[in-house]
Amino acid sequence: MPSTPEIVRTVGGLRDRVAAWRRNGERVGLVPTMGALHDGHLALVRRSLDDCDRTVVSIFVNPTQFAPHEDFETYPRDEARDLGAIGAIGTDVAYMPNAGEMYAEGFTTTVSVADPSNGLCGAVRPHFFQGVATVVSKLLLQCLPDRAYFGEKDYQQLLVIKRLVRDLNIPAEIVGVSTIREPDGLALSSRNAYLSDADRKTAPLLNAIMRQVAEKVAGGVAVAEAETWGRAQLQENGFDPVDYLEVRDGETLAPITDTLAPGHPARVFAAAYLGKTRLIDNIPVARIL
């Protein structure tokens, strides 16, 4: 039944709720977010509501995954709107700890996941995946859900989380959910709110150019050539800087040299700025013949 979710702000409060559900044999889903919720987040929540008896949505803008020059202070926050959106579809608990609850005085433990954090976003945002891996480990251990839901929109992050859960034997199943897009192809993102009107018109070109790169590679064009073409297209259309546009193995993120072998599952990954807004996206590419 749609209603306002119960707001829980402490680890102890969350544990009590989840323990009570478990005593009833209920399955628990967790959807970690940083708030400013849009239909991409809500797709994750809906998936959890479908799969599980109880759903917790965490809303926490995690300071440790932002570098000092990044947008932690200005990151969009709208608690009332977020609660309305997740309540309307039936979320049980909104877990909204403050920074002191999440990082008690003297906090000094971090989780870093070597392999999948290397390259792509890990190369340009060296602090980022350690911040994400640490906070997601904490959220999983605080909640101990049966399942936790993450977007393919942040594909490298999804692989980092799958690996840490496996490596640390955290007993939760990690579920990846397809990227939700605007009709013009732009992937939904809380940061899209930063785009000026002119940049919003340009933004779908990121995905359009990536799709052309995918088509070239699927058609047998050498990966390096398609990447160079794609980067040049982005630059010509005002994306500056282009952090990366790369075709990589879809499971290991290993770079692909040469042409794509038939049947090899790969993805195109890109990150680029329009003005001050950093956009990221990724799409699958498979060469059939």
Active site amino acids? 41
**Binding status of residue 179 toward ligand AMP by CB under 6 A:** yes
48 touches 147 (CB < 8 A): yes
- With contacts defined by CB under 6 A, name the span among 10-18, 119-127, 179-187, 219-227 that binds ligand AMP: 179-187
Residue 189 touches ligand AMP, criterion: CB under 6 A:
yes
188 touches ligand AMP (CB under 6 A): yes
Retrieve residue 120's tokens: 């792509």
How many whole angstroms separate alpha carbon 76 and alpha carbon 61? 9
At 81, list the tokens. Answer: 């709107």
CB of 109 to ligand AMP, least distance (A): 21
Contact window for ligand AMP (CB under 6 A) among 14-22, 32-40, 49-57, 102-110: 32-40
Q: Which is nearer to ligand AMP, 70 or 224 (CB)?
A: 70
- Residue 95 or 150: the one with the smaller Cβ distance to ligand AMP is 150
Identify any residues that bridge with 266 across adjacent strands, giving them in sequence order.
249, 285
Q: Does 180 bind ligand AMP (CB under 6 A)?
A: yes
Among 46, 54, 125, 153, the residue binding ligand AMP under the rule CB under 6 A is 153
Minimum separation from the CB atom of position 19 to ligand AMP (A):
25
Helix residue ranges per DSSP H, the chain: 11-23, 39-51, 79-89, 99-102, 114-117, 121-124, 128-143, 155-167, 197-202, 204-218, 223-236
Q: Is 63 helix (H, G, I), strand (E, B) or coil?
A: helix
CB closer to ligand AMP, 190 vs 207: 190
- 274 CB contacts (<8 Å, ≥6 apart)? 195, 199, 202, 203, 238, 239
The closest alpha carbon to 96, from 131, 61, 60, belongs to 60
> What is the spatial distance between Cα 266 and Cα 249, in angstroms, rounded to a whole number?
4
Kindly state whether residue 130 participates in binding ligand AMP, applying the rule CB under 6 A.
no
Contact mark string toward ligand AMP, 158..177, x via CB under 6 A: -------------------x
In whole angstroms, what is the distance from residue 213 CA to residue 253 CA? Answer: 17
Which of the residues 38 through 97 are near ligand AMP (CB under 6 A)?
A: 40-41, 43-44
Looking at the Cβ atoms of 14 and 159, the one nearer to ligand AMP is 159
Which letter does DSSP use for residue 244 in this model?
Answer: E
Number of residues that bind ligand AMP (CB under 6 A): 17
- For 51, 155, 183, 268, the CA distances from 129, given in Å and listed in that order, are 28, 12, 30, 20
Q: Residue 133 interacts with ligand AMP (CB under 6 A)?
A: no
Residue 33 interacts with ligand AMP (CB under 6 A): yes or no: yes
Binding stretches for ligand AMP (CB under 6 A): 33-34, 40-41, 43-44, 150-151, 153-154, 177, 179-180, 187-190
